[in-house]
Structure 1
Amino acid sequence: MAVPSTHPPNLVPSHVLHRTLHHTPPVVTHASGSYITLSNGQTFLDATTGAAVACLGHGNARVRAAINKQLDSVAYCHSLFFGTSAAEELCAELAVGTGGKMTRALIVSSGSEATEAALKLARQYHLEKPNPESSRTLFISRDGSYHGNTLGALGASGHAGRRAIYEPLLAPGARVSACNAYRGRREGESDGEYVARLAAELDAKFKELGEGRVCAFVAETVVGAALGCVPPVPGYFPAIAAVVRKHGALLILDEVMSGMGRCGTLHAWQAEGVVPDIQTIGKGLGGGYAPVAGVLVNRSVVDVLTAGTGVFVHGQTYQAHPMACAAALEVQRIVREENLVANVARLGEGMGQRLRDKLADCRYVGDVRGRGFFWGIELVKDKTTKEPFDPALKIAMRIHEKGMEPEYSISVYPGTGTANGHTGDHVLLAPAFNITQAEMEHTVDLAARVVLEFFTALE
């Protein structure tokens, strides 16, 4: 029997190793602002800016000009031998954005690469201290966390579904509970009691692993696609940081998805009353105009390396790539000059409330949570028990697919494994930072309509 072709009409079979070999994705021909046009002529609202990436929307003329200007100067040089003004100016911009708390930056090409570098830097820090601690080889992270797809980054992640087939290859580590009020806080438990319990759990984990064994505690300041925009409860990170410091480890905060303005402050940790030792950034750093991510390093870590070897034993071919740096620099200048983080903060609270209001009566919406322009909708089979849907139903992906129907023409970001790494569904909204009040309301209303009409049809 002949197998039906999955290739779009008039296209030769794809030679791309797509994320699935059973389907060839539609081809994008044009993008402008918050809208993307496909080869079939359909134009849809990019309500998630890809994967919370295109923070300025698509086709920004200033960024395009900055990339072209850099291309006219130098497209590539090896960072072992040479520097560029684009890299220097970008890293200076990033340091200023932290209020001088983070004094050095390493620019790489992806969030996974940033995590790899952060883990290696944490290890080297402990070896370079005046009293080196070579026994510090372990990392503690949280259940449901995701820090990247390379083996080191995946080893530091706690998302069971994404780890599963690679478990034999992953470095040993340890996990503690996520700070997930919807699924983790006990009935009648206050924020303070919940925080104290999680801090005690982390303290016990340090002791279980052995004093002087842990390099760092790694956490997403606001959990992204793995759990669906889960913010920490008030007081969580100060309590956790105190435990980490007590045991002589470092605090690594992953803001690849949630940072660079996405949550209404330039860095999500700036709303938490803590400063990380090492921070990873990405996505909104370059707004999708270049593959770029980074590692920000606290002065205390830099000082140890400076007094030691003065060399970070790590490097990559495209580190501090000039065109990537030029693109990211212009994106960050636009964000600052147009006061876009304030726009996210101003509209973000209303965005969340509007989502809750629109979906309040849907018995399949268990929780709406997030911050700024970073909102997740957790979908459940039973709202009372929080029982997730059978994964075979592919609820989140089907909602995405319904949104892409011409009647709606909106892209929402689907996620799975929300409940335990294997079961559970959610969808995200993460619009561009420069949208207006009216555009925010349209995005919420259209996304809510998709969710509600999907479940109406399902019943």
Structure 2
Amino acid sequence: MSAKSAVLYRDLHKDPYTIAGASGLYLRLSDGRPIMDGSGGAAVSCIGHGDERVRQVIASQVTQLDYCHSLFFSCDPSENLSRTLIDSTSGNMARVFIVNSGSEAMDAALKLARQYYMELSPPQPQRTRFIARHGSYHGNTLGALGISGHKSRRSIYEPLLSPNVSHVSVCNAYRGPEEQETTEAYVERLARELDREIQRVNPATVCAFVAEPVVGAALGCVPSVPGYFKAMKAICDKYGVLLIFDEVMCGMGRTGTMHAWQQEDVIPDIQTIGKGLGGGYVPIAGLIAGHRVIETLDTGTGQYIHGQTYQAHPMVCAAALEVQRIIEEQDLVNRARDMGRVLETKLKAAFAAHPQVGNIRGRGLFWALEFVKDRETKESFDPALAVAMTIHNEGILQTPGIMLYPGTGSADGRKGDHIIIAPPYTITAEEVEMVVVAAQKAVDSAIKRLLQSRDKDMPRLNTIFPPVPEAPLNRPVLRPS
């Protein structure tokens, strides 16, 4: 155990690298080495690091108003940011609730969905259940984790999680369709599954169906097939069930439109947003509520029975508003779409024939590689090998270094390795090439090392990457021994 730090790191046995500074696409380690931030951290840094405009806005806001309690007061940054967000939905959504993290936003969404049914006339207090999808991840608070369907992230906390949640199959074009099943038939099968699950638990008890339009960290940038969300929305409408979209990772321009649902031609009742909202400059996330929900509260109690001490913090809202202004002024959402096409082309050129890359998938500047032991059978590697984390570590250690976001459980919730590439929307075509070349080097080096040492060095590998499938995933960078 480290004797140097008072921080409770995610790994008590290894300290993470220390970042001394950052600018644009690059992080700078304390030893001076530059690291290309090829994943924007966790798909967070949408305008790059160190933007001077955002820094100045933060400093200015602190001198004007540092804090106000939202139960009694409002402020211009909160009002202006919320208006900007509603306008970005073309008026299809109604109100915004600003919090500090995606997990908090999801908890707020669950509460709002429940309250919606209590505000109906007559109220429907029996509506207490939620349906989400296997392999999903919606946050780390007990409420958000309870909705999540990712086995490894849930398992240790299972006894604490709500029993009022069930899960249906995720829409995954790589692993979901049966042999020779058409896209239309696949969508119909998934729609029938949701219909049957709602009937099984009793339609009168279901509050909402929760899904990520493009699945993020848990499965690695998995988009839905055409027509899927329209079919899911039709089932929800059939039973009076709300549709909640979790866009904490895939939203705010990341997939090539400001909101991922704008590519699905489906408007959610409630939406959560996060990472790209503040671009990493401040901790911020939010809930966006649709007209149906807000009108019901408006004609009922006229209150949202939820609140947090730091919601709509003036400095946080001011910073996020400036990030959004930069995105609009520089047309960065369209740039994310265009550079995403460049990234897709280069990833497929580099990895389409790679024997251990089973799938290349994504949308906009949100792409992932899923790794397999056998491309024909889609068999995953043994989790004890920690393939995704090994690739991540190789990326950090090489020159030039690169940050690639690792994930596991993409096959069945425990097995299956992937890395996410999600650079800032400001990236150039030349920088895309650099990211892909560095990623290719990291993948080749890691796979070669793991395959060569799989047998003779397995005890050593298990020491560095202990196979603890019940533990939370995505551990931080590990220093080499």
So what's the TM-score if we normalise by structure 1? 0.97
1:56 matched to which residue of 2? 47
Alignment length, in residue pairs?
450
Query: What's 2:311 paired with?
Result: 319
The yes-or-no answer on 1:96 pairing with 2:87 is yes
* 1:221-370 pair list within 5 angstroms: 221-370=213-362
Deviations 1:382-433 (A, max 9, x none): 1111111111001000000000114240110000111111111000100000
Q: Does 1:199 align with 2:191?
A: yes
Contact residue 130 and residue 206 of structure 2 kept, 8 A: yes
Distance 1:359 1:452 in 2: 10
Letter of the structure 2 residue corresponding to residue 267 of structure 1: H
Aligned to 2:466: none
Q: Does structure 1 conserve the Cα–Cα contact (< 8 Å) formed by 2:40 and 2:424?
A: yes
Pick from 404, 409, 423 the counterpart of residue 417 of structure 1. Answer: 409
Q: d(CA) in 2 for partners of 1:318 and 1:457?
A: 47
SS of residue paired to 1:404: helix
8 Å contact kept, 1:262–1:372: yes
**Structure 1 position 163 matched with structure 2 position 154:** yes
Counterpart secondary structure, 2:140: coil
Q: Which secondary structure does the structure 2 equivalent of 1:181 belong to?
A: coil
Question: Using the alignment, how far apart are the partners of 1:309 and 1:168 within structure 2?
Answer: 34
Equivalence for 2:75: 84
Q: Is the 8 A contact 2:335 2:425 kept in 1?
A: yes
Aligned-pair CA distance for 1:342: 0.4
Aligned position for 2:122: 131
Q: Match for 2:363 among 359, 371, 378?
A: 371
- Amino acid corresponding to residue 63 of structure 2 in structure 1: D
Shift of 1:43: 1.0
Query: Does residue 147 of structure 1 match 2:138?
Result: yes
> Are 1:285 and 1:331, in contact at CA under 8 Å, matched by a contact in 2?
yes
Task: Say whether residues 1:116 and 2:107 are aligned partners.
Answer: yes
Residue by residue over 1:237-285, the C-alpha shift from the partner in whole angstroms, topping out at 9 and shown as x without a partner, is 0000000111101000000000000000000000001000000000000
Q: 1:180-238 CA deviation, whole Å, 9 max, x = no partner?
A: 11111111111111100000000000000012110000001100000000000000000
SS of residue matched to 2:156 = helix
| Corresponding letter in the other structure for 2:260 | A
CA distance in 2, matches of 1:411, 1:101: 36
Q: State the secondary structure of the residue aligned to 2:95.
A: strand
Measured on the aligned residues, the alpha-carbon RMSD in Å equals 0.9
* Aligned position for 2:463: none
Secondary structure (helix, strand or coil) at the match of 1:184 reads coil
In 1, the alpha carbon distance for the partners of 2:400 and 2:415 equals: 27
| Alignment match of 1:179 (pick from 171, 185, 190) | 171
Find the aligned partners of 2:444 and 2:226 in 1 and give their Cα distance. 31
User: Gapped runs of 5+ residues in structure 2?
Assistant: 452-481
Measure, in 2, the Cα distance between the counterparts of 1:182 and 1:211.
Answer: 31
Partner Cα separation in structure 1 for residue 31 and residue 390 of structure 2: 20
Any idea what SS the aligned residue of 2:397 has?
coil
Which AA in structure 1 matches 2:158?
E
Deviations 1:275-321 (A, max 9, x none): 00000000000000000000001011100000000110000000101
CA distance in 1, matches of 2:431, 2:337: 15
The Cα offsets for residues 129-162 of structure 1, whole Å up to 9 and x where unpaired, read as: 1221110000000000000000010111100100
Equivalences for residues 363-402 of structure 1 within 5 A: 363-402=355-394
Residue type of the alignment partner of 2:111: K
Q: Which residue number corresponds to residue 431 of structure 2?
A: 439
Aligned counterpart, 1:3: none
Superposed CA deviations along residues 86-136 of structure 1, whole A, max 9, x for unmatched, are 000000000000000111000000000000000000000001012211100
Q: Separation in 1 of the partners of 2:366 and 2:352?
A: 19
Check whether the contact 1:147–1:153 (CA below 8 A) recurs between aligned residues.
yes
Contact 2:342 2:429 in 1 (8 A): no
Alpha-carbon deviations, 1:151-174, whole Å to 9, x = none? 010111100100001111111211
Cα distance, 1:33 vs structure 2: 0.5
Question: 1:375 touches 1:429 (CA, 8 Å); kept in 2?
Answer: yes
Q: TM-score, normalised by structure 2?
A: 0.92
Q: Which residue in 2 is equivalent to 1:39?
A: 30
CA distance in 1, matches of 2:223, 2:25: 25
- Counting aligned pairs with the same residue, the percent is 55
Q: Tell me whether 1:74 sits opposite 2:74 in the alignment.
A: no
* Cross-structure match for 1:24: 15
TM-aligned CA deviation for residue 453 of structure 1: 3.0
- Code of the residue aligned with 1:110 in structure 2: it is S
Distance in 2 of aligned mates of 1:19 and 1:233: 35
Q: Which runs of 5+ in 1 are unaligned?
A: 1-5
Secondary structure of the corresponding residue to residue 162 of structure 2: coil
Which stretch shows the higher mean deviation, 64-73 or 113-122? 64-73
Deviation at 1:446, TM superposition (A): 1.6
From 177, 200, 206, the equivalent of 1:208 is 200
Paired residue secondary structure (2:98):
strand
Cα separation, 2, equivalents of 1:312 and 1:194: 39
SS of residue paired to 1:263: coil
Distance 1:387 1:220 in 2: 25
Q: How many Å separate the matches in 2 of 1:356 and 1:235?
A: 25
Q: 2: CA distance between counterparts of 1:334 and 1:186?
A: 44
